Amino acid sequence: MTIEVHAATVVVPVVTGPIRDGAVAVDEGRILAVGARTEIEDLYGAAIHRHDGVLTPGLVNAHTHLQLTAYADMATLGVSFAEWVGLFFARYRATTTDEWLASARDGVQQVLASGTTAVADVDTYGFAAVAAQEAGLVGIRYQEVVGADDIRWPKLRAELETRLGAADAGLSPHSLYTNSSETMRTIGELARERGLRLHPHAAETVDECEFVFSGTGPFAVGADRTGLLLDLAGRGCGMTPVARLDALGLLGPDVHIAHGVHVDAADRALLRERGTAVALCPRSNAILHSGEAPVAAYLREGNQIAVGTDSSASNLDLDVLGDVQALRALAISQGYDEPDLDRRLIEAATIGGAAALGMRDIGRLEVGARADLAVFDVPIVDDIYASLVASGHGSCTVTVLAGAVVPRNSLPSKEIS
């Protein structure tokens, strides 16, 4: 294969400082060199793509559900989380096989159009895995287990085990309010036996915290209504969701949690101690009235953070830079005033996401990494991270997967609300 060069007004390798008039040389889908355009062109200048704008590693969406893209109308209902969950499951049961696949394909195309090239995707039936593979989108497909009490679990486990062969597979035990404690613990063991990563939802709402601590509230009522026999219902365990996950063996460097909104200082310390990253989903949290994650505390205390959009059912689009912008506003409202804020948020959406997925060859522009790239049409100013954070949402013009430019006319046009 011929070596190709992608040159841009500014190149942001993330692992090193921005390069004005920079370039990346690509060979066999991997990065061969990163540096000044003139040097890279002298060395490898046969086939050159010149991009106006800022070239970054492809973004990493650390929490999404691509299969749910067709549920976009649910993001504007304005109902509480508990009501939303009820409506969600009613619709979920009525969705057909063809609809799931079309929905997942739409999600993959939207993600690529926004400059995201890797996802931590929670997938129930495998349709999103098919759609991602067709398009060349990488990441980890977390097989979801939801609604598993001790009675339903043996059957669900047998079905699950037939689908765990793929190299990109992980497991997503949904949450402490939709699965029994024993199921959650067993899924952790199953993942460790097979070397699979784990990705549960945790500490998303106060209702979840109440259910885990005392066994009461809307999730206890919901479990009762649907006949789900959860051991925490009616009694709780006197713990926070993060502490409970740890007690069940579900934290560790091979795990990242989604949301992490309602976490106290002890929870954050436990996450750091276990090496567990958090995928922050601020726009989803705002839409579902779930609360505001302590972004400033996570940043000051040095927790590993990544950025997720969550699904279209609780967000306005699948562009992680929309959530990066929301995280900035939250951090500032919480008193974070360090000058590194923009850089750290761009890191969260790139190498932070890669770390959350346990992938070392994405989210960075360095020799040997996958040549997954994105170009953003944002103002060229001194602080390019600030420009990406302020103006990057909806500004992706080029997406490159393993060295190949994704044809723009195959992608949906951007619609930013």
Which residues of the shown chain bind Zn ion in the complex (CB under 5 A)?
310
Minimum distance, C-beta of residue 65 to Zn ion, in the bound complex (Å): 6
CB of 174 to Zn ion, least distance (A): 8
Minimum distance between the CB of residue 284 and Zn ion, rounded to whole angstroms? 7
Give me the least distance between CB of 201 and Zn ion, in Å please: 5
| Closest separation in Å from C-beta 251 to Zn ion | 18
Using the minimum distance from each CB to Zn ion, give the nearer residue, 217 or 308.
308
Query: Alpha-carbon Rg of the chain, whole angstroms?
Result: 21
> Could you please report the per-residue DSSP string of 15-71?
SS--EEEEEEEEETTEEEEEEEHHHHHHHHTTEEEEEEEEEEEPEEEEEE-GGGGGG
> Are 271 and 256 a contacting pair, CB within 8 Å?
no
Q: Which residue is nearest to Zn ion (CB)?
A: 310
Q: Which of 49, 72, 51 is nearest to 2 (CA)?
A: 49
Whichever of 149 and 310 has its CB closer to Zn ion, that residue is 310
**Nearest residue (CB) to Zn ion, 121 versus 210:** 121
Which strand ranges, in their side-by-side order, compose the sheet holding 197-198? 59-64, 116-123, 138-145, 169-173, 197-198
Distance between CA atoms of residues 105 and 244, nearest Å: 36
Give the residue with the Cβ less far from Zn ion, 310 or 372.
310
**Helix residue ranges per DSSP H, 202-316:** 206-214, 218-226, 241-247, 265-274, 282-287, 295-301
The neighbouring-strand residues paired with 119 are 61, 139
Q: How far apart are CB 281 and Zn ion at their closest, in Å?
A: 7
Cβ–Cβ under 8 Å, residues 285 and 359: no
Residues 398/408, Cβ–Cβ less than 8 Å: yes
Residue indicated by tokens 């960075």? 364
- Distance in Å, CB of 150 to Zn ion, minimum: 24
